[in-house]
Amino acid sequence: MQNQYTDWKQALRSGLLGGAITVLLSLIGIVTAFSNTYIVNKVISFGELLIVGPIAALSLVAIQKARARHPGLLILTAIISGLTSGLVILALAGLGQVINLRAMFLNASNDLYAIYAYKQALVPGLLLRLLVSGLVGALVAGFTLLPGRIKAAISQGLLYVILVGLMGRLIGTVLNTWGFVAILFKWMFVANSLSPIGAIFLFLLTGGLAYWRYGRPKTKQITDPKKQKLVRWGTLGGFGLLLIFLPNILGMWFSEILDNVGLFILMGLGLNIVVGFAGLLDLGYVAFYAIGAYTIGVLTSPELGFFNLTFWQAFPIALIMAFLAGVLLGLPILKMRGDYLAIVTLGFGEIIRILVLSDWLKPWLGGTQGIQRIQRPVVGIGEFSITLQSQQQLYYLILAGIVLVAFVAVRLRDSRLGRTWMALREDEDVAVAMGINHVATKLTAFAMGALFSGIGGTLFAAKIGSIYPSSFQFLVSINILSLIIVGGMGSIPGVFVGALALMGLPELMREFAEYRYLFYGAALVAMMLTKPEGLWPEARHRLEFHEEETPPPEESEAVPESA
Partner 1 sequence: MDNILVSKKVTKRFGGLEALGKVDLELKKGAIQSIIGPNGAGKTTFFNCVTGFYTPEEGEILFNGRNITGMSPDRVTHLGISRTYQNIRLFKNMTAIENILVGMHPHLKSWLIGAIIRDPRTVHEEAEALKEAYRLLEYVGLKGRGDMLAKNLPYGEQRRLEIARALASRPKLLLLDEPTAGMNPSETQDMVHFIQRLRDELGITILIIEHQMRVVMSISEKITVLDFGRKIAEGTAKEIQTNPTVIEAYLGRGAASGLGETAAKG
Give exposure, 366-399, as e/b (b: 16+ Cβ within 10 Å). bbeebbeebbbbeeeeeeeeeebeebbbbbebbb
C-alpha to C-alpha distance for 38 and 203, rounded to whole angstroms: 16
Q: Does 430 bind partner 1 (CB under 8 A)?
A: yes
C-alpha to C-alpha distance for 92 and 305, rounded to whole angstroms: 66
- 275 and 282 Cβ atoms separated by less than 8 Å: yes
Residue 236 C-beta: closest distance to partner 1, Å: 20
Rank residues 476 and 484 by Cβ distance to partner 1 and give the closer one.
Answer: 484
Q: Does 542 bind partner 1 (CB under 8 A)?
A: no
Which stretch in 26-34, 216-224, 356-364, 536-544 sits in contact with partner 1 by CB under 8 A?
Answer: 536-544
How is 181-250 classified by DSSP, letter by letter? HHHHHHTTEETTEE-HHHHHHHHHHHHHHHHHHTTS-SSPPP--HHHHHHHHHHHHHHHHHHHHHHHHHH
Q: Kindly state the number of chain residues that form the binding site for partner 1, as judged by CB under 8 A.
A: 30
Contact string 459-488 vs partner 1 (x = CB under 8 A): ------------------------------
Rank residues 242 and 320 by Cβ distance to partner 1 and give the closer one.
Answer: 320
* Contacting residue, 23, 274, 352, 412, with partner 1 by CB under 8 A: 412
Rank residues 383 and 547 by Cβ distance to partner 1 and give the closer one.
Answer: 547
Residue 405 C-beta: closest distance to partner 1, Å: 11
3-class DSSP state for residue 297? helix
What's the burial of 29, exposed, middle or buried (CB within 10 Å: 0-12/13-18/19+)?
middle
* Contacting residue, 101, 114, 408, 478, with partner 1 by CB under 8 A: 408
Q: Does 433 bind partner 1 (CB under 8 A)?
A: yes
Which stretch in 10-18, 25-33, 64-72, 424-432 sits in contact with partner 1 by CB under 8 A?
Answer: 424-432
Q: Does 327 bind partner 1 (CB under 8 A)?
A: no
Q: Does 540 bind partner 1 (CB under 8 A)?
A: yes
Residue 411 C-beta: closest distance to partner 1, Å: 5
Q: Among candidates 320, 303, 263, which has minimal Cα distance to 466?
A: 303
- 310 and 301 Cβ atoms separated by less than 8 Å: no
How is 312-338 classified by DSSP, letter by letter? HHHHHHHHHHHHHHHHHHHGGGTT--H
- 271 and 484 Cβ atoms separated by less than 8 Å: yes
Q: Does 411 bind partner 1 (CB under 8 A)?
A: yes
Q: Does 436 bind partner 1 (CB under 8 A)?
A: yes
Q: Does 547 bind partner 1 (CB under 8 A)?
A: yes
Rank residues 422 and 524 by Cβ distance to partner 1 and give the closer one.
Answer: 422
User: Which residues lie near partner 1 (CB under 8 A)?
Assistant: 408, 411-412, 415-420, 422-423, 426-427, 429-438, 444, 448, 540-541, 543-544, 547
